[in-house]
Structure 1
Amino acid sequence: MTLDELKESFELIDDWEERYRILIELGNNLPHFPEEQRIEANRVEGCTSNVWLISKRDEEDPQRLIFLADSDAYIVKGLISLVLMAYSGATPEQIRKTDIRDIFQTLGLEKNLSPNRRDGFYSMVDRIHELAAQAEAAETRA
């Protein structure tokens, strides 16, 4: 599912329980996260639930970053899916220019998630921006 498809689905559904169900389904379809990467260095600070996040260069297009993430909470896994839809496969420059807050508000998540989950979502986004900046700096040094 793409972000545009998700927006369309959410526009058709008024019931937040149904929207949460969709988020949980998205989270259940996250790419496999390597067990050996579930370490403190990969844990996202600021999330109430455990969230692990890593990045790697796209093998076919090294300018692009691929993100993998996982959590021990179902709704958070769905939020991770949103973050990955927005950022995985993008270049560091595209990541800098993506306004995730607009997407978050368009989906109605700003007013329908607990403050802790909302803060955790933005902590994931901040971590992605940090990883993208590190990748860009490494690229500049090379």
Structure 2
Amino acid sequence: MSTQAQELPDFDEIAETMGYLPDLDAKFQFLIDLSKRLPLIQEDEETDNFRVWGCQSSVWIVPFEDEAKKGVLNFRGKSDSVLVSGIIATALALYSGHTAEEILTIDGTAEMKKLDLESHLSPTRRNGLMGMIERIREYAAATLG
């Protein structure tokens, strides 16, 4: 089972690719393809402690510290929807590999606008994405105490 966030492309690479794609169908297909590279959670991690509430689909995001780089956080996630799994992958690509302090300085809302998805997502999917960002920020803040 994959647990290494490094399997995902860099967020800027994702944003650049999304910018080149000709239409919404191609963008959604790219997200579905990203979902296959999502660092997966363990079955026993599908608990309320890691659940992201407010999403239309079931979503879990699990933080873990990089074993090679002390203080660096990575994330893995899961959803029951392949499209949402792709959206999770974009959030994980944005935040994984940073310290808690760095995570708290990243403006996730502004960064996600680079993907040009906001107007194409349903209100519940947009709320879910914002919930994912908030949950990741909560994990980072908790790490700092």
Q: TM-score, normalised by structure 1?
A: 0.91
Q: 2:91 aligns with which of 55, 68, 83?
A: 83
Q: Is residue 123 from structure 1 mapped to residue 131 from structure 2 by the alignment?
A: yes
Q: 2:116 aligns with which of 100, 108, 117?
A: 108
Q: Which residue of 2 aligns with 1:73?
A: 81
Q: 2:45 aligns with which of 12, 37, 44?
A: 37
Q: 2:67 aligns with which of 27, 45, 59?
A: 59
Q: Secondary structure at the match of 1:67?
A: strand
Which protein is richer in helix relative to its size? 1
Q: 1:4 aligns with which of 1, 12, 28?
A: 12
Residue segments in structure 1 that go unaligned for 5+ positions in a row = 138-142
Q: Is residue 26 from structure 1 mapped to residue 45 from structure 2 by the alignment?
A: no
How many residues end up aligned between the 2 structures?
A: 137
> Could you list the runs of 4 or more consecutive aligned residues of structure 1 that deviate by over 4 angstroms after TM superposition?
none
Aligned amino acid, residue 30 of structure 1: L
Residue segments in structure 2 that go unaligned for 5+ positions in a row = 1-8
Does structure 1 retain, via aligned residues, the 8 Å contact 2:74–2:97?
A: yes
In terms of Rg, which structure is larger?
1
Q: Secondary structure at the match of 1:47?
A: coil
